[in-house]
Amino acid sequence: MFLWFLLLSLVPIAIGGTVSFYITKQELEKTTKANLSDLARDCGRKISYYVSSRFQDIKLLSQAEVFRGDDTDAKQRYIEKAVGAYPFYAAISVIDLKGTIIACTRSDLVGQSRATAAWFQKTMQAGEGEVIALDAYRAETAGEKIVIGFNTPIVDRDGRAAGVLTTRVNADHILDRVRTLDERIPGDYPAYLLNGQGEIIAGPDEGVFLTMHPLHGFSVVRDLLAGKTGITIYKSGTGEAVISARYALEGEGDFDGWRWGILLTEPVSEAFKGAYILRNTLIVVAVVIAILVALFAVFISMRFSRPITELSEAAQRISKGDLKPVSIAYGSKDEMGELVSAFNRMTEDLHETTVSRDSLVKEIAERKRAEDSLRRSEEKMSNLLHASPIPTFVIDNGHRVTYWNAALEEYSGIKSEDIVGTDGHWRGFYPEKRPCMADLLVDERIDLIAQWYTDKYRPSDLIEGAYEATDYLPRGGRNGRWLYFIAAPLRDSAGKLIGAVETLQDITERKQAEEQIRMLTGQVIEIEERERESLSREIHDNIGQLLLALRMGLSRATKKIPTDLSEMKDRLAELTYLANRVIQEIRGFSHALHPPQIEDLGLVSALEGLCQDFRSYSEITIKCNFDDIEKPLSSMMNITIYRLFQEGLNNILKHSHASEANLTLTCKDSAIQATIKDNGIGFVVDDVLSASPNTKTLGLISMRERVSLIGGELRISSHPGSGTTISASFRRSDSYEG
């Protein structure tokens, strides 16, 4: 009766409240997602328009007539006037062809050189009207303010390159946009503008500029860096549920977005506050109603129906054979009280007369069931082991053989009846008595496994407490056999160790196939390197010489053309520039196929050239420390070490998002150690190396294969957010191969 009262009162409230809560929550979720998306998109488009406008500004500024002349003072006055007229400029500089600052809004920087700066060299190679932009950074020319850099070549009145015009644009407008966006979002999570490496460009304050976003390891930031715009609900680093909107800037005009992205976050507790208030109100109402109904039902039950209901239920249990004593409480001394008291005494008498008999019958039945179950289990196990095609034996906790199946009889040549009951199972595998893996598990001497199986064992991934190993047995077959075996402990229902089981598998053919594949792989790599060397030499000697002759011919033709044919001379100058570019590309491609420095100057010089090339096209800081190698190495070891560093640098550039890399090569006696280390985003090594082959893992697999072919060992250490270290160790032989 109590339950009926409770159900009738609470079911309508529960149904109505649940429906109202979920409808309100869904509507609030849609509204919040739409609002966050609109805010992020609007802010991103305004930032794109602002940056795109600065591209156009520097193009217009570079066309000023003053930059085509030689009056340095006029240039200084002009840029100072431009900075005063346009407040978004933090600094403007004019740099001559030698890289020297000849005019600057900061006069103390005039005379300084920017010739070695990568952006200056790149701008000098750019065409007229082309803008070389720099991502947000703190500029010296702008007093260490956060700026965006724009650089464009300037030409004189004859159309010849005259230097570089640089502008450094204040990022205050962008910072203010993000802060305004932050003020429009409830909660304590600030809005961020991130660059393509996950570093903060704009956030709660300038102190976090160019620091890594605290959630850079989360999927919401990884998706943003991958250019994916959308909405994500997840748990933040503090465990709080939040909604994040991410918008990857699409750019505008010359601004392609630079892989910038905006990240907005709002706590779910704020977004769904209205729904939670409705839910909590309904819960309070339901609890109050439940308490009132419970009090009413208890009163009715205590006063009228409880004693009769309990008597009826107890009588039904007795009729079904349940003779446990019953104690029904009833405080009154009326006729109902006398009936309850008599019923209680009756159930106690019935229980006392039957309990001893039932206990004895139950004990006998349970013992019989246990014996039958044990017998059937042993028969089933014996049949399974005997019929199994896998060689298998079982020993008890006294190291005596209890099972020796037919497959093991055929492999070992020892019959089951000759070995069951003895401790001679070692005779099937070894020439003299020694423990098998199963013996060590029975003795629980896990520490001795390494003594008998050295580096050939490991814990099983499938069975708890089991171990697996691979070993070569000279006694097996004509030339010995390779065996793979697994041993696992056996325990009874109470967890007590009662023995161990061991299975064996002949993997000789697989081992032979692996060795054959390794040899073939080595031959393929050697042929590939020869083909690379041949193709590199062909490109350098033939195509390179033809292009050099073409460039010389263009230069001679340019000199012979009269000065009044300036347009033709300009066209020939452009062709000469393109010829130089092609020669550089051909030379770089030839060196990538096969570096000639290895044969001409040695491995260390080739590696230093590789690092220098990497610095020319990457902003990653690279530090190299290569020991001199006194004794020449074999050609295969030279090219293997070179390819190891080459592939390592390629992986750092493509995948690591690192700002610094360290390359070391040490040589001590006959030991050679090559190490590549970066401070990038890292990865889970097992996940990458165990994944199906793809472009991201082929490089690591190729490294490992090349190193193993010359007897080396490759170790990869990496964790998400902690960078990556790749280390290869070799031992060279005393003989020198050309």
Query: Are residues 716 and 629 part of one domain?
Result: yes
**The last residue of a domain, from among 274, 289, 314:** 274
584 lies in some domain: no
List, in sequence order, the alpha helices (H) in 406-472.
Answer: 406-412, 416-419, 437-442, 449-453
| Residue 216: inside a domain | yes
Q: By three-state DSSP, how is residue 484 classified?
A: strand
pLDDT one-digit tens code per residue, 193-232: 888 888 888 887 777 777 888 777 788 788 888 888 888 8
User: At 614, is the pLDDT very low, low, confident or very high (cuts 50, 70, 90)?
Assistant: confident
How many angstroms separate the CA atoms of 31 and 263, rounded?
A: 18
139 & 40 share domain: no
Residue 74's DSSP bridge partners are none
Q: Which helix (H) or strand (E) holds 90?
A: strand 89-95
DSSP 186: -
Whether 184 and 331 share a structural domain: no
Write down the pLDDT at residue 77.
92
pLDDT at 736 over 50: no
Residue 6, pLDDT > 70, answer no
Average the pLDDT over each of 170-174, 475-479, 553-557, 577-581 and give the range with the smallest value: 475-479
Nearest-angstrom CA–CA distance, 140 and 148: 12
Statement: residue 409 has pLDDT above 70: yes
472: which strand partners?
482
CATH code, domain with 269: 3.30.450.20
Of the two residues 498 and 511, the one the predictor is more confident about is 498
In a shared domain, residues 465 and 362: no
The pLDDT score that the predictor gives to residue 734 is: 46
**498 in the same domain as 470:** yes
Highest mean pLDDT (candidates 270-274, 298-302, 471-475): 471-475
pLDDT at residue 738, as a whole number: 38
Strands (E), 182-309: 192-194, 200-202, 230-235, 241-248, 261-267
Is residue 735 over pLDDT 50?
no
Q: Give the SS3 label for residue 16.
A: helix
pLDDT at residue 41, rounded to an integer = 87
The mean pLDDT value for 109-127 works out to 91
Burial class of residue 511, CB neighbours in 10 A (0-12, 13-18, 19+): middle
Give the pLDDT score at 394. 92
Residue range of the domain that includes 350 = 326-377
Q: Is the pLDDT of residue 135 over 90?
A: no
Same domain, 49 and 187: yes
In which band, very low, low, confident or very high, does the pLDDT at 93 lie, cut at 50, 70 and 90?
Answer: very high
User: Residue 406: CA atoms inside 13 Å, Cβ hemisphere, count?
Assistant: 7
Residues 7 and 139 in one domain: no
Where residue 636 falls among pLDDT bands split at 50, 70, 90? confident
Q: According to the model, what pLDDT value does residue 383 have?
A: 61
Arithmetic mean of pLDDT, 532-550: 64
Residue finishing a domain among 377, 398, 418? 377
Same domain, 650 and 711: yes
Q: What is the CATH number of the domain that holds 666?
A: 3.30.565.10
Rounded Cα–Cα distance for residues 164 and 492 (Å): 84
**Helical ranges in 388-507 per DSSP H:** 406-412, 416-419, 437-442, 449-453
- Stretch among 220-234, 279-293, 401-415, 644-658 having the lowest mean pLDDT: 279-293
pLDDT tens digit string along 288-326? Answer: 776 776 676 666 555 556 666 776 676 677 766 666 666
Question: Would you state the pLDDT for residue 661?
Answer: 93
- Over residues 69-89, mean pLDDT: 88
Residue 122's pLDDT is what? 92
User: Is residue 567 one of the residues assigned to a domain?
Assistant: no
Say if residue 610 is in the same domain as residue 727: yes
Of residues 473 and 400, the one with the higher pLDDT is: 400
Confidence category of residue 679, pLDDT binned at 50, 70, 90: very high
Percentage of the chain modeled with pLDDT above 90: 11
In the chain, % of residues over pLDDT 70? 73
Average model confidence (pLDDT) across the chain: 78
The pLDDT of residue 602 is 78
pTM assigned to the model = 0.39
Last-in-domain residue among 506, 535, 553? 506
Quick check: 190 pLDDT over 60?
yes
**Whether the Cβ atoms of residue 152 and residue 164 lie closer than 8 Å to each other:** yes
Lowest mean pLDDT among 133-142, 523-532, 622-631, 691-700: 691-700
Q: Between residues 537 and 88, which one has the greater pLDDT?
A: 88
What pLDDT is attached to residue 520? 65
Q: Give the C-alpha distances (Å, rounded to integers) separating 181 from 213, 242, 257, 383.
A: 18, 17, 19, 74
Place of tokens 């199906």: 692
481 lies in the same domain as 453 = yes
For 381-414, give one letter per residue: b (16+ CB within 10 A) or e: eeeebeeeeebbbbbbeebbbbbbbbbbbebbeb
pLDDT band at 597 (very low <50, low <70, confident <90, very high): low
Indicate if 367 and 402 belong to the same structural domain. Answer: no
Answer whether residue 479 is part of any domain.
Answer: yes
373 pLDDT above the threshold of 80: no
Residues 448 and 393 in one domain: yes
User: Is residue 698's pLDDT more than 70?
Assistant: no
Q: Which two tokens stand for residue 326?
A: 């019953």
Is pLDDT at 513 greater than 80 in this prediction? Answer: no
Model pLDDT, residue 271? 67
- Please count the residues of the chain: 738
Mean pLDDT of 434-455: 85
The pLDDT of residue 616 is 82
In a domain, 549, yes or no: no
> Per-residue pLDDT for 356 more than 80?
no
Our count of domains for the chain comes to 5
* Average pLDDT of the residues in 344-358: 66
How high is the pLDDT of residue 495? 84
- pLDDT at position 737 is 42
Average pLDDT over residues 517-540: 63
Burial profile 629-646: b = 16 or more Cβ within 10 angstroms, e = fewer: beeebebbbbbbbbbbbb
Mean of pLDDT values over 478-505: 83
pLDDT for 40? 84
Q: What is the pLDDT of residue 675?
A: 94
More confident residue, 295 or 613: 613
What pLDDT was estimated at residue 164?
A: 93
Q: What dihedral angle (degrees, nearest 10) is formed by the CA atoms of 68, 74, 75, 81?
A: -130
pLDDT over 80 at 113, yes or no = yes
pLDDT at 170 over 70: yes
Residue 305 inside a domain? The answer is no
DSSP per-residue codes, 675-714: EEEE-S----HHHHHHSPP-TTTHHHHHHHHHHHHTT-EE
Q: Is residue 295 part of a domain?
A: no
CA dist 536 and 539 (Å) reads: 5
Could you tell me the two tokens for 161? 């390159």
Q: Give the pLDDT of residue 95.
A: 93
Kindly report which listed range (104-113, 123-132, 320-329, 389-398) carries the lowest average pLDDT score: 320-329
Ramachandran angles phi, psi of 731, nearest 5°: -130, 120
Q: Is residue 490 part of a domain?
A: yes
